[in-house]
Amino acid sequence: MQTQPLPSVPIAPETMLPDLLRRHPQCRPVFDRYGLAGCGGPLGPMETIRYFARAHGIDETALLAELRTAAAGSGPALVVLPGLADTIYRRYFLGAIAVVLTAGATWGAVLLWRIGVHHDFTSLSVHAVNAHGHAQIFGWMGLFIMGFAYQAFPRIWHTPLAAPRLAPLVFALMLGGLTLHVAGMALTGLWPGALPVALLGGAAELVAIALFAGQILATWRAARRPLEPYVAFVVAGLACFLVQAAMGLWHGYHTMAARDESELLWYVSAWQAPLRDVQIHGLALFMIGGVSLRMLPGLFGLPPASARRCWTAFGLLSLALPVEVLSFPALRATGNPVFALTLYGSWILLTAGCLVLALPFKLWRPFPDSDRSAKFVRVAWAWLAVSLAMLLAYPLYMAASGTPFSHAYYGAVRHAVTVGFISLMILGMGAKVAATLNGLDTRRLSPLWGPFVLLNLGCFLRVTLQVLTDWQPAAYSSIGLSGMLEVTALAWWGAHVAGMILRGCNAWEPARAPKPRPERIMSDHIVADVVDWYPQTLAVFVAHGFGPLRNPVLRNTVARHTTIARAARLHRVDEAALLAELNGVVAGDSR
């Protein structure tokens, strides 16, 4: 039988990676050298060479030259299987989703309904509230940060992950420690063993975070990269990750071991806010800031910020955080108004740092590269602005309400940043990363408007209704609805991301050199091979009821093991008519 080679594929900036690698598998080592590795399946992610170069910080002209040189030579068959470092993010993402839909947001929604019933934010057990908050910080945010960092940073730095076999151990320690810590806090006063169990869990979390931070820093050092501003943000975020874990262990011990209610309330009133500041304005803000500086220009085509501006933002935020953390307990302990002024000054510095950091991105404008994740990222930064504006307006609110402290208002500020900023950013970046790593074209996936609208609506209702409870007790009756909306949004998004990950797990197969293209299609030919040889045949398959073949994941899984004869039998299609039409299309295009 005479065969024809696969059609030539131009090596140009807009060439898709799967098209190039299908025709020129010898180009794969070039991409792997710049961080592709197991990303996107056997043929890489559904993105252009230009996008890959921009996202990975590579000179586009130099990359094209390397690819053309590789394509001109001969190379081995494409054999790419995912390694541990390529798939470790999956368990972290799935673990984060599992936590947020159980002890995290779902439990929080239940607690919120109870608050609505009792018309009092202080009606709940402090230990139950802290257990829920711990699950959100360590499970939802912490696991996602770890999974994202394990996957992204080695690729950004074009180097392998240091000691990748530690990553599963870190996951086991983190998730096991989280389970013990949350259970111990929740069972305080109900079980004598609650305190030692919680401390054991906290110690496991601390060890896990220390190992994780060490791996990321060792990976950066091995890459011999300069200390760019975004790296400084990431390193500061890692430091805050460790500090907040140690603070959480210390704070958890003192609240759980408090001898009476007055001692418990003193620790909560003096140290709860500083702990949350390190977790939110430290860990979350520095990590998100660093990732945004490095990745938003590459992923969405935004203008990069100058190094001088980035270092200025880093300096402002690095000064604001310790002042904020130390001023609050000093104010609670002494009542000295000087500490109130320093606390307010830290909020001004914090706001200034965030403005310097975010303004170059011009987030009020549509992103140059449209993507379903863009709306999540843009609105996330808007919610950060809302939370900072509310912080700066806090003295005015206190004066208007005539109270020295408002639990409702301060909690609303926290919710605006934790759900509005942090969770929306996780949803946006998580959907982007999961699609890319599993070789899916986001243009053919759900735009995720449902989770986006529900989460924003839930956050808006929670923030506004919580503030209104200071003025109108009737606001309590509807506040539980906000939690239900947020949980629904997270479950919707979580099911979508988990589906992408699980489909991606099945999309891998030992990749091979492309088969020679025959002149005539036969019944024993594999469906996916036919579409690879003659892309124009996809329309024929779709017309005969094979619509799912439009999905690249299906073409790389089921269709790789199904002959035309078998597919025709399964779909009750006339095999002879199908072959005749396929060969007719092939013959017509070859004339």
Most confident of 13-17, 224-228, 262-266, 424-428: 424-428
Distance CA 41, CA 560 (A): 14
> For residues 422 and 398, is the Cβ–Cβ distance under 8 A?
no
Q: Domain of 22?
A: 3-72
The pLDDT, as a whole number, for residue 561 is 65
Question: Which residue would you say has higher pLDDT here, 309 or 443?
Answer: 309
pLDDT at 510 over 50: no
**Alpha carbon distance 406, 397 (integer Å):** 9
286 three-state secondary structure: helix
Domain boundary among 72, 105, 122: 72
353: its two tokens: 């740092």
Return the CA Rg of the chain.
27
Q: What is the DSSP string of 229-277?
A: HHHHHHHHHHHHHHHHHHHHHHHHHHHHT-SSHHHHHHHHHHHHHHHHH
Once rounded to an integer, what is the mean pLDDT over residues 574-582? 90
Which pLDDT score, from 0 to 100, does residue 387 have?
Answer: 98
User: What 3-state DSSP class applies to 368?
Assistant: coil
Q: How confident is the model at residue 169 (pLDDT cuts 50, 70, 90)?
A: very high
- Position 565 scores a pLDDT of 87
393, amino acid identity: A
Q: pLDDT by residue (tens digit) across 519-536?
A: 889 888 888 888 888 888
Q: Write down the mean pLDDT value for the chain.
A: 89
438 within a domain of the structure (yes/no): no
Per DSSP (E only), the strands in 447-521 are: 517-518
Q: State the pLDDT at residue 556.
A: 58
| 379 alpha carbon, distance to own chain's centre | 15
Is 511's pLDDT higher than 50? no
Distance (Å, whole) CA 286 – CA 314? 8
DSSP single-letter state for residue 34: T
The DSSP secondary-structure symbol of 535 reads G
559 or 251, higher pLDDT: 251
Residue 547 forms part of a structural domain: yes
- Helix (H), strand (E) at residue 4: strand 3-4
User: In the listed set 56, 72, 88, which residue is the last one of a domain according to the structure?
Assistant: 72
pLDDT computed for residue 589 by the predictor: 59
| Block residue for tokens 């998730």 | 175
Residue 546 maps to a domain: yes
In-domain check, residue 13: yes
% of the chain with per-residue pLDDT over 70: 92
**pLDDT at residue number 497:** 96
Distance CA 298, CA 280 (A): 25
| pTM value > 0.85 | no
Mean pLDDT of the 49-76 span: 84
Cα–Cα dist 99/108, whole Å: 12
pLDDT band at 505 (very low <50, low <70, confident <90, very high): low
- Domain count of the chain? 2
Q: What pLDDT, on a 0 to 100 scale, did the predictor assign at position 3?
A: 44
Residue 278 has pLDDT above 80, yes or no: yes
Widest CA span of the chain, in angstroms? 91
Lowest mean pLDDT among 273-287, 300-314, 437-451: 437-451
SS3 content of the chain, % helix, strand, coil (to 5): 75, 0, 25
Is the pLDDT at 63 greater than 50? The verdict is: yes
With b for 16 or more beta-carbon neighbours within 10 A and e for fewer, the 570-582 pattern comes to eeebeeeebbebb
Non-local (6+) Cβ contacts of 249 within 8 A are: 199, 202, 203, 205, 206
Position 240 scores a pLDDT of: 98
Distance CA(293)–CA(480), nearest Å, equals 36
pLDDT of res. 2: 43
Mean local confidence (pLDDT), 182-189: 96
**Please, are residues 553 and 439 in contact by the beta-carbon 8 Å criterion?**
yes
Check pLDDT > 70 for residue 56. yes
Query: Quick check: 389 pLDDT over 80?
Result: yes
Residue that is written with structure tokens 């810590």 in the block:
181
Judged against a pLDDT cut of 50, whether residue 588 lies above it is answered with yes
* CA dist., res. 111 & res. 121, Å (int): 10
What tens digit of pLDDT does each residue of 109-167 get?
999 999 999 888 888 899 999 999 999 999 999 999 999 999 999 989 988 899 999 99
**What single-letter amino acid sits at 470?**
D
User: Which residue stretches of 361-448 are H helix?
Assistant: 374-392, 394-401, 407-415, 424-437
CATH code at position 54: 1.10.3910
Which of residues 57, 72, 87 is at a domain's end?
Answer: 72
The token pair that represents 286 in the structure block: 């520095």
Q: Does residue 58 fall inside a structural domain?
A: yes
Q: Is residue 584 part of a domain?
A: yes
- Alpha-carbon gap, residue 100 to 140, rounded angstroms: 5
Q: Is residue 61 part of a domain?
A: yes
DSSP 318: H
Q: What is the band of 509 on the pLDDT scale with cuts at 50, 70, 90?
A: very low
Is the pLDDT at 426 greater than 60? The verdict is yes
Give the span between the Cα atoms of 97 and 99, in whole angstroms: 5
Q: Residue 554: give its domain's CATH number.
A: 1.10.3910.10
Of residues 436, 309, 338, 408, the one with CA closest to residue 48: 436
What six digits make up the tokens of 267?
A: 């620790």
What percent of the chain clears pLDDT 90, i.e. is strictly above it?
A: 61
Residue-wise pLDDT for 364-374, tens only, equals: 899 988 889 99
Mean of pLDDT values over 245-256: 96
Residue 193 pLDDT more than 90? Answer: yes
Q: Is residue 17 part of a domain?
A: yes
**What tens digit of pLDDT does each residue of 325-348 get?**
999 999 988 999 999 999 999 999
